[in-house]
């Protein structure tokens, strides 16, 4: 996977967040602060403004810049969590101009571990981890089975979508939603939803490359 695909992905994800801003905010209004869509849109808009300054740099530098931008411009939990994902991911691809399947797997696994470490959330807590963890597991299994990158990411997207939907019957155990207890049941987690959109646009960018 070439560096340009990463840049295209960040642009596509930003566009998708813009298109789904109200939907994400609506999901968050049910169990959170009603600001997930707004915060994500603001943060990634800043990312796109910064991208031209690092477009000629390596992939690690690009992802680190994404991280720093998100942390400084997104409020609530989204900034630190997504910022940590991209920061930890950047360390695994430092100096690289292109990525192979193992690089992508390491990027995803390290980013996921960063989120778990930062948010202290586990599978089943009704958070972004419920979409990201099964996606990473599906990608790793596909790669181990000899599947090519595009199809492996497609499997990861399908797993993320299932994980996202699985948050609906869960009772939240982390974040603002946890204050609602049983009343958080029956609502899809906004963080898991944005993770699904992130991986979906990653796959779309690979297909387009």
Q: Report CA 18 to chain centroid distance, whole Å.
A: 15
HSE-up (13 A, CA, CB side) for residue 156: 32
Average pLDDT over residues 56-82: 93
Q: Degrees (nearest 5) of the Cα angle 106, 109, 198?
A: 105
pLDDT of the residue at 179: 75
The phi and psi torsions of 147 (rounded to 5 degrees) equal -75, 145
pLDDT value at residue 156: 98
Closest-CA residue to 140 (of 73, 26, 132): 132
Let me know if 171 is exposed, middle or buried by CB neighbors in 10 A (0-12, 13-18, 19+).
Answer: middle
Query: Given this model, what pLDDT does residue 143 score?
Result: 97
The stretch 174-203 carries a mean pLDDT of 91
- The CATH number of 3-208 is 1.25.40.340
Task: Give me the mean pLDDT over the 68-73 stretch.
Answer: 94
pTM for this predicted structure: 0.96
The rounded distance, in Å, linking the Cα atoms of 173 and 119 is 11
Per-residue pLDDT tens for 151-178? 999 999 999 999 999 999 999 998 778 7
- pLDDT (tens digit, 9 = 90+) per residue, 105-124? 999 999 999 999 998 999 99
pLDDT confidence of residue 6: 97
The pLDDT tens digits of the residues spanning 74-89 come to 877 888 999 999 999 9
**What ranges do the domains of the chain cover?**
3-208
Count of helices and strands (H, E) across the chain: 9, 0
For residues 117 and 84, the answer to whether their CB atoms sit within 8 Å is yes
Tokens of 95: 């100096």
């Amino acid at each position: 996977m070439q560096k340009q695909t990463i840049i295209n992905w960040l642009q596509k994800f930003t566009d998708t967040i813009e298109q789904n801003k109200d939907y994400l905010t609506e999901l968050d209004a049910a169990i959170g602060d009603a600001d997930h869509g707004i915060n994500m849109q603001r943060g990634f808009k800043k990312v796109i403004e910064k991208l031209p300054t690092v477009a000629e740099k390596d992939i690690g530098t690009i992802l680190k810049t994404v991280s720093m931008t998100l942390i400084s411009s997104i409020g609530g939990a989204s900034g630190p969590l997504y910022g940590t994902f991209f920061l930890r991911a950047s360390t695994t691809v430092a100096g690289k101009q292109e990525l192979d399947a193992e690089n992508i797997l390491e990027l995803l696994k390290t980013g996921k571990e960063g989120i778990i470490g930062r948010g202290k959330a586990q599978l089943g807590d009704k958070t972004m981890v419920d979409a990201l963890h099964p996606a990473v597991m599906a990608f790793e299994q596909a790669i181990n089975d000899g599947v090519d990158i595009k199809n492996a990411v497609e499997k990861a997207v399908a797993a993320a979508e299932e994980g996202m939907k699985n948050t609906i019957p869960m009772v939240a155990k982390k974040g603002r939603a946890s204050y609602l207890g049983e009343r958080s049941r029956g609502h899809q987690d906004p963080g898991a939803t944005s993770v699904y959109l992130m991986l979906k646009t990653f796959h779309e960018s690979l297909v387009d490359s």
